[in-house]
Amino acid sequence: NALKAEFLFKRDQEYVLNQQQVILVDEFTGRLMQGRRLSDGLHQAIEAKENVKILSESVTFATITLQNFFRMYPKLSGMTGTALTEAEEFYKIYKLEVVEIPTNAEIKRKDVSDLIFKNEKSKFSHIVERVSELQKEGSPILIGTTSIEKSETLSKLLRKKNVSHNVLNAKHHEKEAEIIAEAGRPGFVTVATNMAGRGTDIVLGGSEKTLEDWGQAHKNVVNSGGLRVIGTERHESRRIDNQLRGRSGRQGDPGFTQFYISLDDDLMRRFGGDRIKSLMDLVGMEEDVPIENKMLTRAVENAQSKVEGFNFEIRKALVEYDDVMNKQREIIYDIRNKSLKMEHNFKEWELEIKENIHDIFNSYVDEKNEILDKSRVLEDLGRIFNINPNDVSKNLSKLDGNFSRDEVSEFIDNRIDFFEKENNEQEISEWISSLFLRFIDLHWVEHLTTMDNMRQGIGLQAAGQRDPLLQYKKAGFDMFEGLLIRIKKDVSFNIFRFSSLNAGLNNNSSPQNVTRGNSMKKIRLKNDKKIGRNDPCPCGSGLKYKKCFGTPKCSL
């Protein structure tokens, strides 16, 4: 995490510092993601790097991929201007066809071939010169950047050239509406991240006070060629680039778009940038002279297509792994939803509760059907049924602590039957439901963390010629089966603590004063009053019942 925080996460690219807090930035929209934090201590590592207050680590209570979240809807449909490049993914993940609809008005926008520079410095200096010329011609200009850092670097260069402009990024998001409203005015320059590239309608002419003023400004902008869009770098996804292009030439208006690329850009470095740079050196080209070639533009788009395919395979694999979790989610949430609606009844779980309790005592029985540790049996019976082990011993046998396996089994069945008769069905349903809620929330969080850790390392199975996904499914199934067993056992071993079971025992103990376990602590229970979630816990801790019962601090 320390290495990731130091080298992979850069300020003003992946995150910003806002009021001494590390706020993540959305890579695709350029907007701040308030309240979102990285897991597994990575966010804390970034906070330590930036020397700000380290906040507590977040705990994951539920996870779902966007793909599986959308697939929960009975019907899926949508409309977007950039779906065509992702048509394959729409079909493979959602079984949705993409249909291209003709535009309302003829597109008059000119999309010019990319200009390719040897390095970033020459690219930015050329952009500044070009923007200065266009501003004098009275054209509104939108400059798209890929990060906050790049937008601010370009802003400094424009200020040195005395080019008036506005900056729209995650640091100035509160001025977004005002900046966008002015972005279409003649001669206005706007430097923006992806915030201005998605769903933003820039009106040519800006927001003039009167209709006449706006009409004149609109006419001037149209005559100057419309909104000029300059992209400072190609994004990994063609869809993001198309969104930026789409700010210009809307509803039949004229427009102009062009991307300026340097061989230092991330995308170019990954796909042949060094080879092209060597070729430029060989030919003896000057640094500030750009290359404009349709073949090179196509090569860049092919590189983008390769990255998109790679990213799609990652998302597809993520969905395949999440499908395993999705089945588990459905089962767990079904039990949890029934708990919230108080739909669990004792008859439904009685057999399983009996089996779980019998199982724990069968582990104390040897091959000759004799009990190995009778004192442990008495302690466990007392703990489960909330009664004193001495009282259990008296009821099992008249013979000074000697009792058989059959007597224990009979005692367990009698206690369970007595519990069902002494308490009404509604109360028992509420108790079972509250226990399921408590133990599902407790164990599900641990299960999510374990499954996530396993998913990150399961790829090593490929080294042993085994399919990682298949191994993940097998291990995940075993772990989930163990999770359900743990939850059901915890419910079985705690359900009887809600009620005093001394009543009906062959001793002088009063049902109103229950002594339990070895602590010999007396707890006053009122049979005629139900314990509310916000009532004080009967154990005497002083905490509310919902905060105390079931925790290690509670003596019940």
> pLDDT per residue over 294-350, tens digit each?
777 777 888 888 888 888 888 888 899 999 999 999 999 999 999 999 888 888 888
Q: What CATH class has 346-506?
A: mainly alpha
pLDDT score, position 556 = 65
CB 554 within 8 A of CB 542: no
Residue 231: band (very low, low, confident or very high) from pLDDT cuts 50, 70, 90: very high
Domain boundaries, the chain: 1-50, 109-292, 346-506
Q: Measure Cα distances from 276 to 259, 271, 361, 506 in Å.
A: 18, 10, 75, 93
Beta carbons of 383 and 517 less than 8 angstroms apart: yes
Q: Is 1-50 CATH 3.90.470.20?
A: no
Euclidean distance between CA atoms 143 and 256, whole angstroms:
12
Averaged pLDDT of the chain: 83
Q: Hey, what are 447's tokens? A: 């299960």
| Weakest mean pLDDT among 150-159, 245-254, 537-546 | 537-546
Name the pLDDT band for 484 (thresholds 50, 70, 90): very high
Note the pLDDT tens digit of each residue in 169-188.
Answer: 887 777 888 888 888 899 99
- The CATH topology of domain 109-292 is Rossmann fold (3.40.50)
The helix/strand/coil state of 17 is strand
